[in-house]
Structure 1
């Protein structure tokens, strides 16, 4: 057995336990939440709601059972860890009653594949008493045992000259980058050989549909949901077109598709990347982009392996996977930056687009374009030049633009323009 990979979220969980009465760690099934908690806390009072008997006991008397656990935890000065808490949304009111009687931080540490406090059946949100943190699948930096990717911190420190704050890129090959994207970030599954890994990812999604979806919201057509997941995997990094999805699924109602996408979003299966707008023109496209949460699952559903992305293969498919991979790497890094960033994409009616825009306070932007090639030219920055240039939508903003590519050199292309090797995400 390989040793567990240290997770970058651990320091934030530790700090949350010293300041919040309830800490709520959410994330997709098998992303490593239980392992993180057991690595973080040497001893605790553990309860898992995957166990039918414990779940039934808590369901029959949530307040009484939690009160007994709370007394035990207080006597031993230990947190109460409740795993898979989303299986019992009614427990929220009992939690509120207990933590309202004592202000001690770190009383409860909850884990779940969905946020129990946003589920419709939850009886209380515990606003002001709970800190919710999200654990994503492993990042490239975690897999390579490096510190978090601080690319956005580099931009924040020097928006117009961030090159000085970027490290030398780690050595890597195109084949290694493709393998990283194909394997994905789920700790147990990513280690498997290709056929077994693809089967496990298929089984993983079947399990999510069968066990987790009903907790978030009841659905009448699980077969439609499963086919929708396949469609979204093939459309990752594309703008969300509900009408096209309805047609592909057999004229399913738009309301149904929207509801099912929202369920998948809340379970961490997909992310919706909203459009950036300058508010200066009505010609900007407002549709969000859809990104699959993990390129390992997406490529497994698409039936892709290393041969699918050979040098002679169609580069479009690899471009989509690369764009989603970079988006998820940036998204995973957000809680670890010194400033609060939001993520967007951009396109106008003249097809000028930016794959990914990160925005920080004080009108600072980081632009990311993805290129599935080992070379970059000045022409690859043409949309960024327009975006930041005279008359462009971000003319009044500070920031830097990156072209993330599959080469190995960190190259400046003039003021605020940098060719960024993919390995920069695990080079800090």
Structure 2
């Protein structure tokens, strides 16, 4: 990740870590470590980084409302909504009655879960974020893979999107509007 950023910014790779550490210390960038079911391998994999402030990300990307609503801009909107949702979860971890840590998950086959909440007692809850108004079966594929990998530690999962109302996809798997992060 840092090497790619250094190349795109035309900055020597040897100095990018210092810059990245600075923007992270200023809370402009957040990182999620990878989740693994084996606690001794917690550091395996790559952290996922994103700009914490969605409005700042829009400005830096020079994205307008019309670009985001176009077919081409939809991919960019998905990343922005995901970053927004994860930022909200990070904020909630500071005041929640339940102690938890946040991670992300990606397997060798490319299935991923945008955020994993791991509670102090070891159970996990998966969250996938989509820039869509509908819930499709492929939106739940990463959560189903995570459930299979985690076994009894998996207590449920949710796909958050821009829909007006939620649904139950399968036992323990739900689709909810992203507003559920602050309304429920």
TM-score, normalised relative to structure 1: 0.41
Structure 2 counterpart of 1:355, from 97, 108, 114: 114
1:251 CA displacement? 5.0
Structure 1 counterpart of 2:8, from 224, 248, 255: 248
Structure 2 counterpart of 1:304, from 59, 63, 66: 63
Ranges in structure 2 where 5+ consecutive residues have no aligned partner = none
Measured in 1, the distance between the counterparts of 2:142 and 2:154 equals 16
Matched, 1:266 2:45: no
Measured in 2, the distance between the counterparts of 1:319 and 1:251 equals 28
What does the per-residue CA deviation read over 1:41-100, in whole Å, with 9 as the maximum and x for residues that have no partner?
xxxxxxxxxxxxxxxxxxxxxxxxxxxxxxxxxxxxxxxxxxxxxxxxxxxxxxxxxxxx
1:311 CA displacement? 4.8
What secondary structure, in the 3-state scheme, does the structure 2 residue paired with 1:396 have?
helix
Between Structure 1 and Structure 2, how many residues are aligned? Answer: 183
1:278 CA displacement? 1.7
1:372 CA displacement? 0.5
What does the per-residue CA deviation read over 1:139-179, in whole Å, with 9 as the maximum and x for residues that have no partner?
xxxxxxxxxxxxxxxxxxxxxxxxxxxxxxxxxxxxxxxxx
Matched, 1:427 2:183: yes
Structure 2 counterpart of 1:409, from 165, 175, 180: 165
Runs of 4+ in 1 over 6 A off after TM superposition: none
Measured in 1, the distance between the counterparts of 2:95 and 2:117 equals 14
| Aligned ranges 1:75-114 → 2 under 5 Å | none
Structure 1 counterpart of 2:85, from 326, 351, 354: 326
Measured in 2, the distance between the counterparts of 1:346 and 1:398 equals 13
Structure with more relative contact order (C-alpha pairs < 8 Å, separation 6 or more):
1
1:351 CA displacement? 1.0
1:398 is matched with: 154
Higher strand residue share: 2
Asked if the contact 2:132–2:161 (Cα under 8 Å) also holds between the matched residues in 1, the reply is yes
Asked if the contact 1:285–1:347 (Cα under 8 Å) also holds between the matched residues in 2, the reply is no
What does the per-residue CA deviation read over 1:375-398, in whole Å, with 9 as the maximum and x for residues that have no partner?
002232112112112xx2x11303
Structure 2 counterpart of 1:377, from 105, 120, 136: 136
Aligned in 2, Cα 1:413/1:281: closer, same or farther, shift over 3 Å? farther
Measured in 1, the distance between the counterparts of 2:4 and 2:71 equals 30
Measured in 2, the distance between the counterparts of 1:359 and 1:385 equals 16
1:353 CA displacement? 1.2
Q: What RMSD over aligned residues (CA atoms) do the two structures have, in Å? A: 2.0
2:53 is matched with: 294
1:325 CA displacement? 0.6
Measured in 1, the distance between the counterparts of 2:39 and 2:142 equals 17
Measured in 2, the distance between the counterparts of 1:295 and 1:253 equals 26
1:102 is matched with: none
1:401 CA displacement? 0.7
What secondary structure, in the 3-state scheme, does the structure 1 residue paired with 2:155 have?
strand
TM-score, normalised relative to structure 2: 0.91
Larger radius of gyration: 1
1:425 CA displacement? 2.3
Aligned in 2, Cα 1:275/1:321: closer, same or farther, shift over 3 Å? same
Measured in 2, the distance between the counterparts of 1:341 and 1:259 equals 29
Aligned in 2, Cα 1:409/1:272: closer, same or farther, shift over 3 Å? same
